[in-house]
Amino acid sequence: MASQSPSAGSGQADQLWLRQHFTTRLGALDADRAGYWATWRDLAAHFAPRRGRFLASANDTSRGKRKDQRIIDNTPLLAARVLGSGMMAGISSPARPWFRLRLASDADTEQDGVRQWLDEVQKRILHIFAKSNLYNCLAQLYEEIGTFGTAVLWVDEDEEDIVRGYTLTVGEYWLASSKRLAVDTLYRSMWWTVRQIVDRFGLDCVSESVAALYRNGQLDREFEIVQVIEPNPNAAPRAQGEETAMWRGTLAGRMPIRSILIVTHNIEEAVLMCDRILVFSSNPGRVIAEIKVDLPQPRNRLEPAFRALVDDIYARMTARPTGPVARDGNFPGTGLGMALTHVSTNTLAGMIEAITAAPNSGAADLATLARELQMEADELLPIAETLQLMRFAEIEGRTIRLTPAAKRYDAADVDQRKQLFAQHLLAYVPLAAHIRRVLDDRASHQAPATRFRDELEDFMSEPYAEETMDAIVSWGRYAEIFAYHEDDDRFSLDDPA
């Protein structure tokens, strides 16, 4: 049953309905936007480390921490700035008039005094823009749209400068479009202090919690404020001379909703946002842990209790199962039924080197390692588990410790590394040994890849079989235990190097 908005003028009931409507729609927009976060965060990390707002919250004391750990050199930053500067100079340079006011009809524009009036208004608008902060905002806007592909400039009336702009960044706003694919809805999240809220609304019009903090002198405590602008469905068509509210909006604290389901591979994100966390195993996905989060909101990533909970979840995700289960290392299945994650040999070597280097010296805490390497759980854990499968590492609780073989690998040259990797691949990955054994037994030393792919699909789904084959091909080529020919999809012992 579709819900209907109350008619205009119903007073308090109308306000309650609007509040519920805004809260519900914000939840839907949140869910729709979640798919873009990973891309935006990756772009921000390389092109604009101080732009974008992800997983931060009011009163978060870690907002000012360094965010440029993934920057190797300044080429991406300079590229974004050059793009923004070029757009600024070409579109809205403050050094020249960059727009012209004219009427829709050229004939009307040429009437006596019209052109002169339009030119004077244009000069005044340009003067207002130059006096305000608009050009600073436009410079940020162009960098934002060049980096993330979307941008928003909010312009408000201002008592001192007539207008004042605010360039929003990805992560702090939500957009929606009309049937004409024109943006007509904006939800914006802001952090306002108690002082800012009281200055804007007055002490009599704020919530009891804000008023109490204001009276107690806690003026810098922050609250999340959501501002909304969207079409008003109750607006009647305008008659000549009438003023009708074609848009409606609100400016209020974010309202709680009953529940939100979030699927994430980021452990800190889960602890920061959720009151209940379910940890799933892989292939097949089963609940292996249920964790209740009792930390008060807003949560601070730097607090010991927060860090302890993150570490505990890492330990649960990497803990070895107890009892007789069909697993070798941390990988589902045994023998040919072992589903593999395609992790490149360069990544494996880099992880061994990172754990070997100081201050780790051969052993590292997984949660700490993830933070140091700027990795999510779904990036780090497959690497750690692959090292464990190959007997280059052991995972105990939340600690990953290199084996003597890994230390020999780290000290070896290129050819020695390949030989050692080949020995472990054939010894500990049954599919690799099976392929090599078939090739050795055949007179032609060749075999179609479809044979092994079909065998895998007896144990696992087609996507898992495909990824397992990709991993075996990559590892086998590196170890030079066989060759793979893409043109006819076959394995052979012909020049495996």
Phi and psi at residue 392, to the nearest 5°: -95, -10
426 touches 417 (CB < 8 A): no
In order, the DSSP letters of 331-385 are EEBSGGG-------HHHHHHHHHHHHSTTTTTEEEHHHHHHHHT--HHHHHHHHH
Contact criterion met (CB below 8 Å) for 317 and 385: no
User: How far is 417 from 425, CA to CA, in rounded Å?
Assistant: 12
pLDDT tens figures, 26-79: 888 887 887 787 788 888 888 888 888 775 666 666 667 777 777 888 898 899
202 and 194 in contact (C-beta within 8 Å)? no
| Residues 319, 384 contacting (CB under 8 angstroms) | no
Residue 136's pLDDT is what?
93
What mean pLDDT comes out for the span 171-189? 89
Question: Domain coordinates of the chain in residue numbers?
Answer: 12-62+70-91+132-233+246-253, 267-321, 331-492
Calculate the dihedral angle through the C-alpha atoms of 122, 127, 128, 132, rounding to the nearest 10 degrees.
140
Q: How confident is the model at residue 282 (pLDDT cuts 50, 70, 90)?
A: low
Q: Which two tokens stand for residue 123?
A: 């000069």
Sign of CA dihedral 385, 391, 392, 398: positive
What pLDDT, on a 0 to 100 scale, did the predictor assign at position 111?
85
Q: Which of 119-128, 189-198, 266-275 has the lowest mean pLDDT?
A: 266-275
Alpha-carbon span 343 to 375, nearest angstrom? 14
Express each pLDDT in 72-106 by its tens digit.
888 988 999 999 999 999 999 998 889 999 888 88
117 exposure class (CB count in 10 Å sphere: 0-12, 13-18, 19+): exposed
Query: Is pLDDT of 241 > 50?
Result: no
**How would residue 255 be classed by pLDDT, with cut points 50, 70 and 90?**
very low
Per the CB < 8 A criterion, the answer to whether 274 and 293 are in contact is yes
More confident residue, 233 or 463: 463
Q: Band of the pLDDT at 110, cuts 50, 70, 90? A: confident
Which of the four pLDDT bands, split at 50, 70 and 90, describes residue 127? very high
Q: Confidence class of residue 276 from pLDDT cuts 50, 70 and 90?
A: confident
Q: Where are the beta strands (DSSP E) in 136-266?
A: 152-158, 162-168, 173-177, 183-193, 222-231, 247-253
The CA distance from 418 to 345, in Å, is 10
Beta strand segments in 367-433, E? 393-396, 399-402
Say what the pTM is: 0.49
- Asked if pLDDT for residue 1 goes beyond 70, the answer is no
Tell me what pLDDT residue 5 has: 41
Q: Which of 10-24, 37-51, 285-299 has the highest mean pLDDT?
A: 37-51
Give how far Cα 405 sits from Cα of 328, 354, 476, 481, Å.
18, 15, 19, 19
Stretch 357-363: mean pLDDT: 84
* Range ranked top by mean pLDDT from 279-293, 341-355, 364-378: 341-355
- The whole-number average pLDDT for the span 279-287 is 67
Share the mean pLDDT of the chain. Answer: 81
Instruction: DSSP letter for 324, please.
Output: S
